[in-house]
């Protein structure tokens, strides 16, 4: 496969045994976007922030789409493999524990994080999904026996995501063995202080 490297920023913590927050931006974002958000969760985490390799009218994304809410699943499949391979390739160089990755994705970034959960169910130690959509129409996955924790927050007023589709996605993740904590926040597609507060609480209880 013709994988390409991803642009990234790595910020190590002072803790050799730290978990690493894998930051995955939304459409039009970059590897700097979510670093200020991650700083709300303390200095005990390493930060690995990636930039998607796909450009949509000049806006970085992690995979192509065919229209609003319609994913190019073939490209998503390829880009998920590409991202996982890239992370594995830099783990030794940067010095983070590949078994202690917690994905934190917003919108497009949450969707490739979800694709990673489905394709590589035991690759991530956990995942934070902000405003996600189910990445693949058909879920083909062996699932996990490790009770991998997942934080999932939707916006109650989010016009880009169908609430029925959200419930289906939640059910599918649970059936695959993920321990999903779901939060329906009274907002749209944007992130709020509630997302940050709830995430901080979730991290503190899920990764002591």
Is 75 one of the annotated active-site residues of the chain?
A: no
DSSP 8-state code for residue 30: -
* pLDDT value of residue 1: 67
Is 107 one of the annotated active-site residues of the chain?
A: yes
User: Which residue out of 72, 122, 189, 206 is catalytically annotated?
Assistant: 189
**Looking at the domain assignment, is residue 1 inside a domain?**
no
- pTM: predicted TM-score of the whole model, two decimal places: 0.97
Token pair, residue 144, equals 């996990």
pLDDT at 136 over 90: yes
What's the chain's average pLDDT?
Answer: 96
**Looking at the domain assignment, is residue 34 inside a domain?**
yes
User: Which residue out of 25, 33, 158, 195 is catalytically annotated?
Assistant: 158
Residue 153: give its domain's CATH number.
3.40.50.1820
pLDDT digits (tens, 9 = 90+) for 87-101: 999 999 999 999 999
Q: How far is CA 126 from CA 4, 5, 19, in A?
A: 25, 23, 10
pLDDT digits (tens, 9 = 90+) for 141-198: 999 999 999 999 999 999 999 999 999 999 999 999 999 999 999 999 999 999 999 9
pLDDT at 208 over 90: no
**Looking at the domain assignment, is residue 78 inside a domain?**
yes
Is 89 one of the annotated active-site residues of the chain?
A: no
Phi, psi of 88 (to 5 degrees): -60, -35
User: Which residue out of 49, 107, 153, 154 is catalytically annotated?
Assistant: 107
pLDDT digits (tens, 9 = 90+) for 13-23: 988 789 999 99
Domain that holds residue 98: 7-207
pLDDT digits (tens, 9 = 90+) for 2-51: 999 999 999 999 887 899 999 999 999 999 999 999 999 999 999 999 99
Number of domains in the chain: 1
CB 144 within 8 A of CB 121: yes
Classify residue 107 as left (phi > 0), alpha (psi -120 to 50) or beta.
left
């Amino acid at each position: 496969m013709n994988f390409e490297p991803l642009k990234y920023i790595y910020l190590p913590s002072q803790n050799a045994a730290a978990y690493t927050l894998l930051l995955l931006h939304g459409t039009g974002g970059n590897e700097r976007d979510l670093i200020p958000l991650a700083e709300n969760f303390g200095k005990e985490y390493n930060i690995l922030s990636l930039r998607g390799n796909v450009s949509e009218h000049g806006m970085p994304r992690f995979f192509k789409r065919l229209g609003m809410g319609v994913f190019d699943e073939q490209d998503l499949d390829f880009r998920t493999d590409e991202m996982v391979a890239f992370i594995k390739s830099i783990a030794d160089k940067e010095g983070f524990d590949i078994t202690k990755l917690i994905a934190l994705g917003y919108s497009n970034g949450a969707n490739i994080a979800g694709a990673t959960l489905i394709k590589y169910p035991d690759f991530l130690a956990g995942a934070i999904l902000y405003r996600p959509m189910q990445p693949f129409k058909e879920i083909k996955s062996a699932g996990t026996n490790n009770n991998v924790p997942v934080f999932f927050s939707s916006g109650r007023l989010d016009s880009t995501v169908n609430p029925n589709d959200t419930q289906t996605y939640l059910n599918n993740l649970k059936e695959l063995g993920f321990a999903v904590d779901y939060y329906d926040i009274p907002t749209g597609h944007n992130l709020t202080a509630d997302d940050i507060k709830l995430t901080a609480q979730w991290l503190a209880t899920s990764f002591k």
